[in-house]
Structure 1
Amino acid sequence: MPRSGGETFPENCSTKAKLVQEAMPRDYIDLAPSYTTWNATKHQAEVGGLAKHEWLKHGTCSGLSPDGYFAEALRAFSLLPGDRGTPELIKANVGGSVSAAALRSSYAKRVAIKADRGCNLSEVTACFSKLPDGRIDAQVDCPDHVMRGRDSPNCSTIRINQLGQCMLDAKKKR
């Protein structure tokens, strides 16, 4: 998601802009389903828990409106390699495993690959430079302060599960 530069990034800033429980752009249903909650009555996707978290923690510090912030987040996907920000290596290996080195190199720049204790891929953090008006610019190598705590260096092989598979596996173990 869009972040400001520097050694650390600001969080939970004070802002007058409010995230309204309105329909999310259609692109979010396809690109970032975890950002949405389905409203069966209105038959539309609405702002979900992850979107609220991202807005409060990062968006409020971006200098953008909620609509502008999430438009930039969607645009970030288009700046990443592959279809919708997902490199072919990930798409071709759903249900299988890939080397962590190959996964990292499938992105154009240095990214943080986060995996759970079982070395299942859980998150990829990409970094972008920021224009003076708050919009994102080009993808850049993630700096060390972003890598700390987000990268999983102990996993030499990363499992690529189908979306939601880890939750299904956890339910089976109960």
Structure 2
Amino acid sequence: MRRFAPIAAALVTLAVAAASWVMDGNAPVVEDSRPVTSDRPSTPAAKQTSTTSRNANRGGFDFYVLSLSWSPTYCDSEAGRDNRVQCGTGKRFGWVVHGLWPQNEHGYPQDCDSTQGSRVPDSIARGIMDIMPGLGLIGHQWRKHGSCSGLSMEDYFALVRKAHDKILVPPQFSSVRQPLQTSPTALEQAFIRSNRGLTASAVAITCDSQGVDEVRICLDTSLNFRTCREVDQRSCERSDLIIPPQP
């Protein structure tokens, strides 16, 4: 039995070394990835596969994506039911700004280093809550996307306001009091008709299992409409959509 003692000791030594190697963080890591533009889980019809770059250089991107979210769809979700700021009693939000996202032709930067810090002061946040309801949403959008714009917080949220005000929501979709049945194509065409210069290759409609989720519009850094093939290709592929009514 003694002749096996050196072998057993060697095996124990190897096991300890392997455990230490893993705990030190030297083991191979599978890189995480997420959809190209969505901050929420994508539906199969809107699934996107490009990976993103973390801690990219501030201002290093190709264009913006303005994401307008239909608030009643979000408020019908599990997450929305707990959001009293956007979805509580008496809240009648329609199209709200989900974000203004720096985007590349393939993928996008996120979570960039910024000398501005991570907390958005109340003086800035309160001034945009009418179109971007929720301090949590505002702070998250700054940290994840605004930090990559190369702008100060004040200038970034001023640009969010300017981008929002540029878009004319089609009258038939601006205020919905009863469930409205439409299609991604009809909604997209209505936005195109209402916004001169907007083309089908510069806008995408996303959806959840049944209803409209967001309208995503691509803008250059001067806020002119521009094509965005990767974003456009990820439009909802349903033949019909429900737009839930505002409360």
The question of a shared fold, defined as TM-score above 0.5 by the shorter chain, is answered with: yes
Count residues with an aligned counterpart: 137
2:206 corresponds to: 114
The answer to whether the 8 Å contact 1:79/1:138 transfers is no
Q: Return 4-13 or 107-116, whichever deviates more.
A: 4-13
Does residue 146 in structure 1 map to residue 231 in structure 2? yes
In 2, Cα distance between the equivalents of 1:93 and 1:156? 20
Does residue 70 in structure 1 map to residue 161 in structure 2? no
Does residue 9 in structure 1 map to residue 9 in structure 2? no
The answer to whether the 8 Å contact 1:4/1:62 transfers is no
CA shift in 2, pair 1:3/1:148, >3 Å = same
Using the size of structure 1 for normalisation, the TM-score is 0.68
CA-CA distance at 1:93 after TM superposition:
4.6
Q: Return 6-15 or 97-106, whichever deviates more.
A: 6-15
2:10 corresponds to: none
Task: Give the counterpart letter for 2:116 in structure 1.
Answer: A
Aligned identity (percent) is 26
The answer to whether the 8 Å contact 1:2/1:72 transfers is no
Task: Give the counterpart letter for 1:106 in structure 2.
Answer: A
Q: Which runs of 4+ in 1 moved over 4 A?
A: none
User: What are the ranges of 5 or more consecutive residues in structure 1 without an aligned counterpart?
Assistant: 37-47, 131-135, 166-174
In 2, Cα distance between the equivalents of 1:100 and 1:93? 16
CA-CA distance at 1:103 after TM superposition:
0.4
* SS of alignment partner, residue 129 of structure 2: helix
Does residue 80 in structure 1 map to residue 159 in structure 2? no
TM alignment of 1:1-174, pairs within 5 A: 1-18=100-117, 19-23=119-123, 24-26=125-127, 28-33=128-133, 36=134, 48-81=135-168, 86-91=169-174, 93-94=176-177, 95-108=179-192, 109=198, 110-118=202-210, 120-130=211-221, 136-141=222-227, 143-149=228-234, 151-153=235-237, 155-163=238-246
> Greater CA radius of gyration, 1 or 2?
2
User: What are the ranges of 5 or more consecutive residues in structure 2 without an aligned counterpart?
Assistant: 1-99, 193-197
The answer to whether the 8 Å contact 2:218/2:225 transfers is yes
The answer to whether the 8 Å contact 2:149/2:156 transfers is yes
In 2, Cα distance between the equivalents of 1:61 and 1:92? 33
In 1, Cα distance between the equivalents of 2:126 and 2:165? 15
Give deviations 1:38-96, integer Å, cap 9, x for gaps.
xxxxxxxxxx1221221112111100011111110111112112xxxx22231255521
CA-CA distance at 1:4 after TM superposition:
4.7
In 2, Cα distance between the equivalents of 1:32 and 1:162? 19
* Structural RMSD (CA): 2.2
